[in-house]
Structure 1
Amino acid sequence: MRPWSVQLSGRFEEHVFQSEVLKGNPLGDPSARPLWVYLPPGYDAESERRYPTVYQIQGMTGQLDMWRNRMAFRKNFPELVDELFAQKEAPPCIVVWVDCWTSYGGSQFLDSPGTGAYHTYLCDEVVPWIDAHYRTLARREHRGIAGKSSGGYGAMITPMLRPDLWGGLATHAGDALFETCYLLEFPASVRALRDQYDGSFDRFWESFRSRPALTRESDMPLLNDWCMAACYSADEDGTVHLPYDLRTGELRPDIWERWLRWDPVRMVVRHAEALRSLKAIYIDAGRRDQFYLDLGAEAFRRELEKIGVTDIFFELFDGTHSAIEYRYPLSLKYLAERLSPR
Structure 2
Amino acid sequence: MNVFFARSKPYKIDASDIARDNKVVFLGYPLPRPGCTYNEESVHACVTPLDADEDEWRAAKSAVTKKYATQAQANRNLAAEIGAGDIALLPCAQEGVVYAGIVTTGFELLDRPPWFDLFLSRLPAGQRGGPDDMGWHAAEVAQICRVDNFVPIAISELGQLRASLLGRARFGRVAIDGPNAHALISALMQGRRERLLWTVEPEQVLVRLKGGLTPTDFEYLVVALLQLEHPEEIWHALGGSGDGGVDGAAIDESGRPTAVLQCKLRYSGEALLPEAKGRLRNGTGSLRRYVAALFHPDHNLLDASGIFLDARTITMLVIKHKDRLPVAISLRIGRAPASSAVSD
Please give the TM-score of this superposition, normalised by the length of structure 2.
0.26
- Greater C-alpha Rg: 2
Q: Which structure has more RCO (C-alpha within 8 Å, separation ≥ 6)? A: 1
Please give the TM-score of this superposition, normalised by the length of structure 1.
0.26
Whose strand fraction is larger, Structure 1's or Structure 2's?
Answer: 2
